[in-house]
Structure 1
Amino acid sequence: MHDLAGKRVQIEVFLNEYPHVPSLANDLLQGIDAVPWSTMPGCPGAIPALIRGLLDETSYEEALRVLGNVLTDDIFHLNPAMALALPYLIKLTNDETTPSKGELLA
């Protein structure tokens, strides 16, 4: 999805449905808020909230769906933010508390 406004709407809907997600913490996500997400073309700044949503069983599936839409511009193009999000996703796959961690990099 190239449409930044559409990505922002998806994130807004997600955060309205799961308002607790931005406050979720995990040591593996240290530094995630310092990444200049919104300075990358086509990238909304709320990617940390989506990645944090992967820590919670209730928001996991929707966080994964929205994050996938945000980090891919279409089937053949990844958003520039993917390179910065990937290390956090890999770390979460190694964390035994991450729900459905096998789906993260599938």
Structure 2
Amino acid sequence: MEGSRALLPTLRPAGELVTYLGEAAAELRHGAQVVLNVAPHGCMVASMGELLTPAIEACAGRGRVQHLFSAEGDLDEELLGLAVLKALGPERYLQRRPAPAAERASR
């Protein structure tokens, strides 16, 4: 909760928003490249979290926050793919992982 104070000095409104802000900023500060906001559309945490996203990213100084759902409440796969692409860079986004040893042996 104390990690949220830089973004929301009064820690109000009380509830999930305070913990979301602190946790998202802490994850980014500790090396996460992307934090997904999975709060459902219409939820206060989703709405206010989206409003405070620039402040979260600025406070953390790295990474990005991506909201998982579109304004219609659908999974926005295009935005999700774009967030991963921006976080990983094109080389790692398109790089295929080698098949596990068991899978290679059965081929």
Please indicate, yes or no, whether the TM-score normalized by the shorter chain is above 0.5.
no
When Rg is computed on C-alpha atoms for both structures, the one with the higher figure is 2
Question: Which TM-score tier does this pair reach, normalised by the shorter chain?
Answer: 0.3 to 0.5
Greater relative CO (CA pairs within 8 A, separation 6+): 1
Q: TM-score, normalised by structure 1?
A: 0.41
